[in-house]
Chains A and B, each alone.
Chain A
């Protein structure tokens, strides 16, 4: 109930919004403010809102944030509802920080086994026939095995999706006269790590792009402004940002990133998998997920699935810890090498449960369990971990990360 002192009124005798809110909050405690039905819907009509602006900002009530560490920042998967990642929430992974590059002084050098070594300015690249493509980009180190209080963002927030625009790398290679003896090319960044990766020429003539736009806008600095390589479906590190040089050769260069890093020691204890570029199929339920507390009744289980080998053909959802599986709906369009939304309507009756998702792609690959991955790869593979993950639902409705499934 409102106290006498809360009964502040306007000159027209009505209760002010502040008084109403304070009274309501006092009645149910400080944890929540009960809505006064219809009041706000009237209030915002009583005065003109702000005018147009040069650039919009999110509502002050909406504050999605990446989770940064010293070397990366993770996309808040639990806060997003579609498949396109807003550019300012795209994950980052850098090896030498974000360089500030003046586009008027930027040039891309293509040389090596080519007929015409050439320097392309940003304006040159934009003059070539352009292509746009929606695809995901995922760091191959994208798994964190945290405790029960782990957000989707922290489990695998090193994946994001963008409509990229640029020029096909094959167009540039035709322009410089790529030699038929070239089998690999080096991609080199102009960051402080001078990032380098060797890429097979097959990828160059398949779907590799040199991109300058992210969701229609210029690339964000953390994603390679002004120009980056884009290798759809392949581990993010190979899509070299701040691209300054491409050198064609007849063998790989064996850079640090493709030898001592981004390689996979296997279970036999002696061999190491190298040039493991493709991101295997994967999925994660992004809602309900930690830290939500749900009520009995209907819930739409929602999440993302993707494969670096092509289209997702099926996502199965289990609500009983994998004892039974049910086909989820896939939201069209289902694009190759792209995040797709899946959803499954679930009636939770209140008992303890465990919800999980399992992706299948067009090659017939089925997202494995953690135990299955460990069995074939042993305990020391660090990259390309794409296990089925789960969320447990307690009788109290608390949703927690199924950390036990990744325990072994």
Chain B
């Protein structure tokens, strides 16, 4: 069947296109889809004009969005109510974190989080994290490793406070909440530069 189609197609499509279709997946009813992705990206269906909308899917209610919209941005957008102290964080650290990250955050089976070496050896929150809010976002979504997403906002704020204090970025009596966490200026903030690789002969 495919052999027959290929002969038919062989008269009308370029060799390269034929070679792709011979991978066997874009021949339908003896007709080849010439909008095949490899030809000229970007690839939009071109056989008929697209409707303004297809009407597929269902509207997402504010409740449905709130359930999943857990991200936190550098300006604090997304941070929930709650707060935590360095001492609160020390307690939570002992229960959930020290086993992998070490008693003082020096690292273990998981990455070190505490360290000030400005040359970045090793890479830590103290020398390589540009935004304090990323601590909240990441701990809340992905930690602790064996039970991610189970910490309360107060526990996450406390852990952020403890990690920041250990890195000597905030004072030991600081309290982290939706206002104070985004205000923390991280040592690594000014270090990040956009990718300047552009292809071409120069290696960057």
Contacts and interface: CB of A to CB of B under 8 A. Distances in A.
Contacts, number: 201
Contacts of A373: 203
A274 B56 contact: no
Interface in A184-233: 186, 188, 192-194, 196, 205-207, 216, 232
Interface string A345-368: 000000000000000010111101
Given A119-B58, A265-B120, A363-B199, A188 B148 contact: no
A277 B200 contact: no
B59 A118 contact: yes
Contact of B57 (A119, A194, A245, A363): A119
Nearest to A70: B109
Interface in A240-263: 244-245, 247, 249, 251, 253-256, 259-260, 263
A117 interface: yes
Contact of B41 (A188, A207, A269): A207
Contacts of A263: 192
A349 to B, nearest CB: 34
A43 B123 CA distance: 63
A275 B43 contact: no
Interface stretch (A26-34, A54-62, A120-128, A148-156): A120-128
Contact of A170 (B42, B65, B204): B42
Interface stretch (B2-10, B87-95, B135-143, B166-174): B135-143
A133 to B, nearest CB: 3
Contacts of B198: 363
A175 B56 contact: yes
A129 B204 contact: no
Contact of B201 (A163, A332, A338, A365): A365
A323 interface: no
Given A192-B148, A259-B130, A174 B59 contact: no
B45 A129 contact: yes
Contact of A332 (B19, B131, B193, B204): B19
A365 B204 CA distance: 10
Contacts of B23: 84, 134, 163
A188 B65 CA distance: 13
B45 to A, nearest CB: 4
B194 interface: yes
A349 B33 CA distance: 49
A247 B200 contact: no
B197 A274 contact: no
Interface in B52-106: 53-54, 56-60, 64-65, 68-71, 73-74
A269 B119 contact: yes
A163 B25 contact: yes
A372 B201 CA distance: 13
Interface residues of B, number: 64
Contacts of B184: none
A109 interface: yes
A42 interface: no
A111 B134 contact: no
Q: Specify which of A96, A232, A365 lies most central, judged by the most chain B CB atoms within 10 Å of its CB.
A: A365
A72 interface: no
Given A259-B192, A332-B16, A96 B148 contact: yes
Contacts of B145: 96
A376 B203 contact: yes
A50 B8 CA distance: 35
Contacts of A125: 56
A395 interface: no
Interface string B123-158: 101001111011001100110010011000000000
B138 A372 contact: no
Contact of B20 (A110, A134, A205, A271): A134
A250 to B, nearest CB: 10
11 contacts: A109-B64, A117-B65, A134-B37, A216-B24, A259-B129, A259-B130, A260-B125, A270-B191, A274-B192, A336-B38, A376-B203
Given A207-B42, A365-B200, 4 more contacts: A124-B56, A249-B73, A256-B142, A265-B120
Interface of B: 15-16, 19-20, 23-26, 35-38, 41-45, 50, 53-54, 56-60, 64-65, 68-71, 73-74, 119-120, 123, 125, 128-131, 133-134, 137-138, 141-142, 145, 148-149, 188, 191-201, 203-204
